[in-house]
């Protein structure tokens, strides 16, 4: 049935281009060489909601829902890339002091193992009054160290 609906849709689109308007069921039936009643039945079915449990294929061993992508789930390649990136990020952060790591985690919103930053907005970085550093200065040293760590890894 799905194949018939798809064929009807393709034929209908072709006729729209050819005629410059929506084709009638009679015109679709003539072009497809199907009985008019069958075309009307298929048009009616195509408008009705179809269950995800609708059997598909000649042996009907698959269901329509089997072919719908779940966009919430990462593909295997995306999951691998994400895990590799997280691993590399952990290795780079491990080369920093705890304070520098905290600065970069806060700056880039990098979460810890539990998926929570553990840092609330406005939490001080234990910067003393004698430091009198601008936020950019606080970030500069950890960023340099992280970049150097990446370069060293790339050179190996």
When mean pLDDT is compared across 68-72, 136-140, 147-151, the lowest value belongs to 136-140
Taking the model in full, what pTM does it have?
A: 0.45
Burial class (CB in 10 A: 0-12, 13-18, 19+), 37: exposed
Read off the pLDDT of each residue in 72-85 and give the average, rounded to a whole number: 90
Does 129 have pLDDT greater than 50? no
What's the pLDDT at 11?
Answer: 93
Read off the pLDDT of each residue in 50-56 and give the average, rounded to a whole number: 81
Residue 62: band (very low, low, confident or very high) from pLDDT cuts 50, 70, 90: confident
Residue 133: band (very low, low, confident or very high) from pLDDT cuts 50, 70, 90: low
| Closest-CA residue to 97 (of 146, 50, 155, 33) | 146
Q: Which fold has domain 2-67?
A: Arc Repressor Mutant, subunit A (1.10.10)
Instruction: Report yes or no: 101 and 93 within 8 Å, Cβ to Cβ.
Output: yes
Alpha carbon distances (Å) from 136 to 1, 93, 96, 117: 63, 18, 17, 20
When mean pLDDT is compared across 6-10, 116-120, 143-147, the lowest value belongs to 116-120
Instruction: Report yes or no: 139 and 107 within 8 Å, Cβ to Cβ.
Output: yes
Read off the pLDDT of each residue in 118-136 and give the average, rounded to a whole number: 53
Residue 37: band (very low, low, confident or very high) from pLDDT cuts 50, 70, 90: very high
């Amino acid at each position: 049935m799905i194949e018939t609906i798809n064929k009807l849709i393709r034929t209908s689109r072709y006729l729209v281009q050819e005629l410059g308007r929506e084709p009638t069921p009679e015109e679709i039936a003539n072009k497809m060489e199907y009985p008019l009643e069958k075309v009307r039945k298929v048009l009616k079915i195509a408008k009705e909601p179809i269950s995800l449990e609708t059997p598909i294929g000649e042996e009907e061993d698959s269901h329509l829902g089997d072919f719908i992508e779940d966009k919430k789930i990462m593909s295997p390649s995306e999951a691998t890339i994400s895990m590799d990136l997280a691993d590399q990020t952990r290795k780079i952060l491990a080369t920093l002091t705890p304070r520098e790591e905290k600065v970069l985690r806060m700056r880039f919103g990098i979460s810890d193992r539990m998926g929570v930053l553990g840092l609330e907005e406005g939490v001080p970085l234990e910067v003393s009054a004698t430091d009198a550093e601008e936020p950019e200065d606080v970030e500069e040293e950890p960023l340099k160290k992280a970049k150097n760590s990446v370069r060293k890894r790339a050179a190996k």
